[in-house]
Amino acid sequence: MKIATILGTRPEIIKMAPIIDEIGKRGIDQIVLHTGQHYDKEMSDNFFRDLEIPAPDYNIHVGSGTHGRQTGRMMEGIEEILMEEKPDIVLVQGDTNAVLAGALVCAKLHIAVGHVEAGLRSFDLTMPEEINRKVADICSAMYFIPTEQSAINLLAEGFSRKDLIITGNTVVDACFRHLEISKKRGFDEESLKELDIDNMDNILTLTMHRAENVDVKERVVNIIEALKELSDMNIIFPIHPRTKHTLENFGLFDELNNFDHVHIVKPIGYLDFLLLTSKSTLILTDSGGLQEEAITLDVPALTLRYNTERPETVTAGGNILVGSNKQAILENANRILNDKEFADKMKNAKNPYGQGDAAKKTVDAIEKYYEEGILNITAPEDIMDSFTRKMTLIDTDITVVEFEQKENALVHMVFDGDEMRFPSDELNLKGMMITYDKRE
Ligand code: UD1
Ligand code: UDP
């Protein structure tokens, strides 16, 4: 079996590293293809070094550009390589343009796509990431899904349950694997050593790069005004290159950089960043990955967005959406700082993203699908089964798997009162309304 991984940005490298590592450990043939969307060494190469994964086999070097141009160039480069390499499955991760380009190319070449971190939805179609993740899901053959809630999103859109595999999120694997190393090693970056973080209280780690925030001057101004008033905090801001460019263009970089309590530093390596995050009193971010890492590391997060495709972090109590609303940012930050009970409740929120074995579960499932021949995407030769989609209320003790065997059916959606549940094999359906496909 040959597995190809396509990645292109910082978070994809971080979240695919545990899977690349697991594939390598099992001796499975693999190639890694970098689109070159992120190219600064502190946004790309340094992560291969820190996470101890081999350098990519290919780099398409697409660089920066408009969405259409960047995605088109990626598709051209990816197609050429995959036609030559002929992998059995291609893995894409998350919701970047690499995911869109990779999934579309594979669908046309009839190569199975495994979407890692599938099923997330912000329900905001103005986000480029929402389009990317939805298109990728349509093109995929296997779905590696972080939580039951994300799996339910896919069921509600009509995806078949049989290929939905709940794994947790590989960011937990990456966090657990690297935090201990970084604790032993201490800070490495000169800029962080200079800040003497070990002796600093009230650290607020800030990251922002989301287009809908940093490309809109009014939103940036609101956020900066809030930061100005948070002068009790030591704000450490590893700045994303996109944000640096837009702050400079808006003429706001110097104003922010001149606040005594704000320390703007270059994007920092993963080991240093994990250590910084874990020592923080508060995380203020619009990053997807950081919302997950905050709840994994028991640090309260305020998310600078009006919606999130990670709602589990909010319902668990570890994350609060504050948008770019100055008042909401200040009220919540000050409460975390001054109200110990409130802060402790946020810190103790249960991590919804699993135990740190997502990579193992992902590769287990790929091996199983490969052995069963399910990764071969060919035009059907069997005459189509006829089936009818039905709905029924279950009034006896019966699990999903028992019901499916008895009825020759595939359970689709399950409603427990007004709540939708994920039909895991062992779920007892008594008292629940279900929809299912019945093979005739
Ligand atoms: C991309 C992803 C986003 C992800 C983020 C992770 C898409 C649509 N967006 O956003 O989902 O959360 O990566 O960080 O795929 N730049 C540099 N050096 C680099 C990379 C970028 O200077 O190495 C600058 C360029 O000016 C570029 C801008 O940053 O135009 C934006 O980069 P781009 O890759 O287009 O989007 P991100 O904002 O990084
Ligand atoms: N990160 C890092 N150094 C930094 C900022 C972030 O290593 O200076 C890591 C962070 O730990 C997380 C990932 O980058 O795992 C998040 O990437 P980003 O916010 O760029 O993208 P998103 O997750 O929003 O797609």
Q: What is the DSSP string of 156-167?
A: HTT--GGGEEE-
Q: CB–CB of 263/238 below 8 Å?
A: no
| Token pair for 82 | 């995959």
Q: What percent of the chain has pLDDT over 90?
A: 92
pLDDT digits (tens, 9 = 90+) for 246-294: 999 999 999 999 999 999 999 999 999 999 999 999 999 999 999 999 9
Q: Report how far ligand 1's centroid is from the alpha carbon of 37 (Å).
A: 7
CB atoms within 10 A of CB 257: 13
Look at residue 192 in the predicted model and tell me its pLDDT: 85
> Would the CB of 9 count as within 6 Å of ligand 1?
yes
Provide the pLDDT for residue 384: 76
Could you tell me the pTM of the whole model? 0.97
Nearest ligand to the CA atom of 287: 2
Please state the atom number of ligand 2 nearest to the C-alpha of residue 96. Answer: 25
Measuring from atom 4 of ligand 1, which residue has the nearest CA? 96
Q: What is the CA 363 to chain-centroid distance, rounded?
A: 18
- Ligand number nearest to the C-alpha of 65: 1
Residue nearest to atom 28 of ligand 1 (CA): 242
What pLDDT band is residue 90 in, cutting at 50, 70 and 90? very high
Mean pLDDT for the stretch of residues 401-409: 95
Q: What pLDDT score was predicted for residue 381? A: 85
pLDDT over 90 (residue 410): yes
Residues 6 or more apart in contact with residue 75 via CB below 8 angstroms: 101, 104, 105
CA of 222 to the centre of ligand 2 (A): 23
pLDDT of residue 94: 98
CA of 165 to the centre of ligand 2 (A): 25
Q: Which class does domain 2-169+356-371 fall in?
A: alpha beta
Domain 187-347: CATH superfamily is Glycogen Phosphorylase B; (3.40.50.2000)
User: Is the CB of 149 inside a 6 Å radius of any atom of ligand 1?
Assistant: no
**pLDDT at residue 6, rounded to an integer:** 98
Predicted local confidence at residue 386, as pLDDT: 72
Looking at residue 74, its pLDDT comes to 98
Q: What gap in Å lies between CA 1 and CA 80, rounded to an integer?
A: 20
Please tell me the distance from the alpha carbon of residue 350 to that of residue 318, in angstroms, as a whole number: 8
Whether residue 124 is predicted with pLDDT greater than 80 in this model: the reply is: yes
Return the pLDDT at 439: 78
47 CA: nearest ligand 2 atom: 7
Are 309 and 120 in contact by the 8 Å Cβ rule? The answer is yes
Binned at pLDDT 50, 70 and 90, residue 387 comes out as confident
Mean pLDDT of 397-413: 96
Q: Is 168 left (phi over 0), alpha (psi -120 to 50) or beta?
A: left
The pairing of strands 387-393 and 433-439 is antiparallel
Point out the residues that are catalytic.
Answer: 209
Report d(CA 55, CA 17) in Å as an integer. Answer: 11
Q: 26-70 pLDDT, tens per residue?
A: 999 999 999 999 999 999 999 999 999 999 999 999 999 999 999
* Tens-place pLDDT, residues 186-244: 888 888 888 878 778 899 999 999 999 999 999 999 999 999 999 999 999 999 999 99
**Is the pLDDT at 24 greater than 90, yes or no?**
yes
Tokens 């995959």 -> residue: 82
Q: Tell me the CA–centroid distance for residue 160 and ligand 2, in Å.
A: 32
| pLDDT mean over 4-10 | 98
Any atom of ligand 1 within 6 Å of the Cβ of 46: no
Give the CB-side neighbour count of residue 406, counting CA atoms within 13 A.
8
Tell me how far the alpha carbon of residue 264 is from its chain's centroid. 25
Instruction: Locate the ligand 2 atom nearest the alpha carbon of residue 287 and give its number.
Output: 24
User: CA separation (Å) from 333 to 100, 206, 321, 342?
Assistant: 36, 12, 12, 11
Token output for 405: 């065997």
Taking a C-beta distance cutoff of 8 angstroms, is the pair 206, 174 a contact? no
Hey, whose CA ends up nearest to atom 20 of ligand 1? 38
Distance CA 236, CA 261 (A): 8
Is the confidence at residue 359, as pLDDT, over 90?
yes
The token pair at 231 is 């002068």
46, 117, 214, 273, best to mutate for ligand 2 pocket (most atoms within 8 Å of CB): 273
Distance CA 208, CA 228 (A): 16
Contact status, residue 203 vs residue 236, Cβ threshold 8 Å: yes
- Per-residue pLDDT at 276: 95
Provide the 3-class DSSP secondary structure of residue 9: coil
Average pLDDT over residues 425-430: 97
* pLDDT of the residue at 67: 97
Whether 380 has a pLDDT exceeding 90, the answer reads no
Q: Is 242 in the pocket of ligand 1 (CB under 6 A)?
A: yes
Give dist(CA 202, CA 217) in Å, integer: 28
Domain with CATH 3.40.50.2000 in the chain: 2-169+356-371, 187-347
Residue 292 neighbours by CB under 8 Å, 6+ apart: 169, 171, 172, 310, 313, 353
Which DSSP string do the residues of 141-198 spell out, in sequence order? SEEEES-HHHHHHHHHTT--GGGEEE---HHHHHHHHHHHHHHHH----HHHHHHTGG
* pLDDT at position 383: 81
Q: Per-residue DSSP letters for 311-366?
A: HHHHHHTSEEE-TT-HHHHHHHHHHHHH-HHHHHHHHTPPPTT-SS-HHHHHHHHH
Q: Quick one: pLDDT at residue 321?
A: 98
The closest-lying atom of ligand 1 relative to the alpha carbon of residue 128 is 8
Q: Is the model's pLDDT at 385 over the cut of 80?
A: no
pLDDT value for 399: 98
